[in-house]
């Protein structure tokens, strides 16, 4: 050990002597020196300087200078030629040392890797500092031109098991497989990014559920108080659990799930502006996506098949119409709200009853042009979150209003454990009452419990009941998930339908479409769904 120390000492002395030799010739042309830190304690400064000298194999000294609080000691390189300083700066960069440049005897601060960032302000330290550990790990500089990219793949194996065969004899067992890729890349200091998320499902029973969709495919440019997104994107608005009234930007991918939460990618230009008084979002929606519907072999569908190949539009531009939406959202203490207006082709269709040449009836979707104003708000008081969503829509028959409101109360650590239990109650209302043909929820009450087990596997579950207070139809809903290790997840879903009567497939179309028996066609569709997903 002693020998090593002696050798190191000699090396330093040698380096110092070298530095002395260089100094006289180079000093005249030195524009600056590099500072590696300032200390109130001379001993700490010299200690640091000696460590740096060894590390950078050059002379780093501690020199005294005056500050308001008294004498300080700065750890600084010797005056050298610009080339030598550039070399030293490179070595310091490589060693991930933090430094700045000292111009002449003046304090700070010329351009260096460090100085590109905002200087640290605030009062200077007024206490002795002490060096422990390895202070050379002060900071890794932000990698300005680094590119971050990630690719995730998930493969899902899904089985839907229905307890009975369908109204038209559809099969009880519906296995399917889905593949989703998520590619993300950012550059330009995270100011720009690109996201792509293609999705594909193959369903063994229902060819209409076998489908491909570009969920996301967009470029983002982030400004100081704005974001611009161009491409295919997903945007969700809303606060309530059981009904998503205000959510309108993306079309529903109904074959994926009847809960209206799975959406198709929507092409758009989206500009978001952040101000003190909230966020304003402008959406220019270029092109319309038709809703997906289960095919004749599919389950969870209407009593008559929907012909998705020949949709009608109110707009002469059909699915090429450019729609628009503008939304203002803000957060004021416990209150959070959004207010928007949408003008464009309705995401949910009306249906026209048609007859094929062979006499079979079918439903033809018709997409009118609507104007919809919507509000969503949430107020949080303690463990209560009160929620409201409301819309007013014109162009879809007479102008009408609809609302969903309620609360979720979160109980933390129930039963003395670490499980969080959310108690949810919501009421859904539609001004049109029984005439509300495009929704199941016109006078319905919903109750739910959300279980968050807070275990390592992220186990969570939602059990809910939606009950029509007039017709007494009801839906029981179960959603539960947990991780299996680091790369698998298990998702369980189930629905049970009740309170309606299952129509006879040979009934007249008006019976099959009975608005007082909206759940009738799915009365035989109680199911349990298991999905296991592998993440790559």
Partner 1 sequence: MRGLLNLLQLFWPAIALAFSAAPAVALQPGTTDFSVAGLAPEAAGLAIFQEADRRASGYQDLSVDLEMILRDRRGNQSQRQLKIRQLEMAEDGDRLLVVFDSPKPIRGTALLSYSYKFAPDDQWLFLPAFKRVKKITSKNRSGPFLSSEFAFEDLALQEVEKFTYRLLESESDESGAYYLVERTPVDDTSGYSRQLVRLDQAELRIQHIEYFDDRERPLKTLTVSGYEFYLERFWKPAQMLMENIQTGRSTQLVWHDYQFGLGLDSQRDFSTNSLRRVR
Nearer to partner 1, 295 or 377 (CB): 377
Nearer to partner 1, 168 or 261 (CB): 261
Q: What is the 3-state secondary structure (H, E, C) of 328-375?
A: EEEEECCEEEEEEEEEEECCCCEEEEEECCCCCEEEEEEECEEEEEEE
- Which secondary-structure segment (H or E) carries 402? strand 400-414
Instruction: Please state the closest distance from residue 228 (CB atom) to partner 1, in A.
Output: 11
Other C-beta atoms lying within 10 Å of the C-beta of residue 449: 13
CA distances from 156 to 153, 375, 489 (A): 10, 35, 9
Nearer to partner 1, 61 or 268 (CB): 61
Nearer to partner 1, 369 or 423 (CB): 423
Instruction: Please state the closest distance from residue 99 (CB atom) to partner 1, in A.
Output: 12
Instruction: Please state the closest distance from residue 171 (CB atom) to partner 1, in A.
Output: 28
Instruction: Please state the closest distance from residue 428 (CB atom) to partner 1, in A.
Output: 19
Beta bridge partner(s), residue 328: 280, 339
Nearer to partner 1, 390 or 421 (CB): 421
Nearer to partner 1, 450 or 518 (CB): 450
Look at residue 108 and give its three-state secondary structure. coil
Instruction: Please state the closest distance from residue 296 (CB atom) to partner 1, in A.
Output: 30
Contacts of 490 (CB under 8 A, 6+ apart): 481, 482, 483, 484, 530, 531, 532, 533
Nearer to partner 1, 17 or 103 (CB): 17
Nearer to partner 1, 41 or 81 (CB): 41
Instruction: Please state the closest distance from residue 44 (CB atom) to partner 1, in A.
Output: 7
Residue in the block written with tokens 């108080």: 225
Residue 136, Cβ density class (10 Å: 0-12 exposed, 13-18 middle, ≥19 buried): middle
Instruction: Please state the closest distance from residue 362 (CB atom) to partner 1, in A.
Output: 33
Nearer to partner 1, 274 or 469 (CB): 274
Instruction: Please state the closest distance from residue 213 (CB atom) to partner 1, in A.
Output: 14
Q: Which residues of 232-261 are buried (b: 16+ CB within 10 A; e: fewer)?
A: bbbbebbbbbbbbbbbbbbbbbbbbebbbe
Beta bridge partner(s), residue 352: 364
Nearer to partner 1, 205 or 460 (CB): 460
Question: Cα–Cα distance between 303 and 509 in angstroms, integer?
Answer: 9
Instruction: Please state the closest distance from residue 231 (CB atom) to partner 1, in A.
Output: 13
Contacts of 380 (CB under 8 A, 6+ apart): 334, 336, 386
Question: Cα–Cα distance between 532 and 361 in angstroms, integer?
Answer: 38
Tokens of 502: 């299952």
Residue/partner pairs of 500-505 with CB below 8 Å, 24 or more apart = 500/471, 500/473, 502/167, 503/167, 503/303, 505/167, 505/168, 505/303
Instruction: Please state the closest distance from residue 41 (CB atom) to partner 1, in A.
Output: 5
Instruction: Please state the closest distance from residue 525 (CB atom) to partner 1, in A.
Output: 24
- Could you tell me the sign of the dihedral formed by the alpha carbons of 302, 304, 305, 306, in that order? negative
The phi, psi pair for 270, rounded to 5°, reads -125, 115
Nearer to partner 1, 253 or 442 (CB): 253
Contacts of 536 (CB under 8 A, 6+ apart): 152, 153, 154, 155, 487
Q: How many CA atoms lie within 13 A of 425 on its CB side?
A: 2
Nearer to partner 1, 163 or 200 (CB): 200
Instruction: Please state the closest distance from residue 66 (CB atom) to partner 1, in A.
Output: 14
Instruction: Please state the closest distance from residue 243 (CB atom) to partner 1, in A.
Output: 15
Nearer to partner 1, 75 or 475 (CB): 75
Look at residue 19 and give its three-state secondary structure. helix
Instruction: Provide the Cα torsion 167, 168, 172, 175; round to 10°.
Output: -120
Question: Cα–Cα distance between 237 and 373 in angstroms, integer?
Answer: 13
């Amino acid at each position: 050990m002693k020998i090593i120390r002696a050798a190191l000492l000699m090396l330093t002395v040698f380096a110092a002597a070298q530095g002395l030799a260089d100094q006289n010739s180079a000093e005249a042309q030195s524009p600056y020196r590099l500072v590696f830190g300032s200390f109130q304690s001379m001993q700490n400064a010299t200690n640091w300087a000696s460590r740096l000298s060894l590390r950078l194999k050059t002379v780093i000294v501690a020199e005294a200078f005056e500050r308001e609080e008294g004498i300080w000691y700065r750890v600084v390189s010797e005056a050298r030629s610009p080339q030598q300083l550039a070399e030293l700066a490179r070595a310091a960069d490589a060693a991930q040392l933090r430094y700045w440049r000292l111009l002449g005897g003046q304090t700070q601060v010329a351009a260096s890797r460090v100085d590109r960032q905002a200087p640290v302000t605030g009062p200077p330290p007024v206490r002795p500092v002490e060096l422990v550990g390895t202070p050379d790990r002060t900071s890794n500089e932000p990698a300005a031109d680094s590119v971050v990219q990630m690719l995730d793949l998930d493969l899902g194996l899904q089985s839907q098991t229905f307890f009975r065969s369908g109204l038209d004899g559809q099969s009880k067992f519906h296995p399917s497989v889905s593949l989703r890729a998520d590619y993300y890349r950012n550059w330009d200091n995270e100011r720009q990014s690109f996201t792509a998320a293609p999705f594909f499902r193959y369903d063994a029973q229902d060819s209409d559920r076998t489908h491909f969709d570009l969920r996301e495919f967009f470029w983002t440019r982030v400004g100081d108080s704005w974001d611009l997104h161009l491409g295919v994107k997903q945007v969700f608005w809303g606060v309530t659990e059981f009904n998503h009234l205000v959510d309108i930007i993306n079309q529903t991918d109904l074959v994926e799930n009847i809960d209206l939460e799975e959406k198709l990618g929507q092409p758009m230009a989206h500009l978001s502006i952040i101000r003190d008084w909230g966020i304003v979002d402008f959406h220019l929606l270029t092109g319309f996506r038709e809703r997906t519907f289960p095919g004749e072999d599919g389950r969870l569908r209407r009593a008559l098949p929907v012909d998705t190949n020949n949709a009608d539009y109110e707009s002469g531009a059909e699915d090429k119409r450019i729609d628009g939406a503008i939304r203002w959202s803000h957060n004021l203490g416990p209150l959070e709200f959004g207010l928007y207006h949408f003008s464009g082709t309705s995401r949910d269709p009306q249906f026209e009853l048609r007859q094929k040449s062979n006499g079979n009836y079918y439903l033809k979707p018709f997409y009118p042009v609507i104007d919809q104003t919507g509000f969503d708000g949430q107020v949080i008081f303690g463990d209560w979150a009160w929620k409201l969503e409301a819309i007013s829509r014109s162009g879809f028959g007479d102008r009408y209003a609809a609302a969903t409101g309620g609360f979720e109360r979160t109980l933390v650590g129930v039963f003395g454990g670490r499980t969080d239990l959310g108690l949810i109650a919501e009421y859904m209302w539609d001004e049109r009452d029984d005439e509300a043909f495009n929704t199941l929820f016109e006078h319905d009450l919903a109750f739910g419990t959300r279980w968050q087990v807070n275990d390592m596997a992220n186990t969570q579950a939602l059990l809910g009941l939606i009950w029509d207070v007039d017709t007494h139809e009801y839906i029981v809903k179960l959603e539960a998930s947990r991780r299996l290790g680091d790369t698998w997840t298990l998702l369980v879903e189930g629905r049970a339908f009740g309170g309606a009567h299952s129509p006879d497939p040979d009934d007249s179309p008006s019976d099959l479409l009975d608005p007082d028996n909206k759940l009738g066609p799915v009365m035989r569709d109680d199911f349990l769904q298991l999905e296991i997903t592998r993440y790559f």
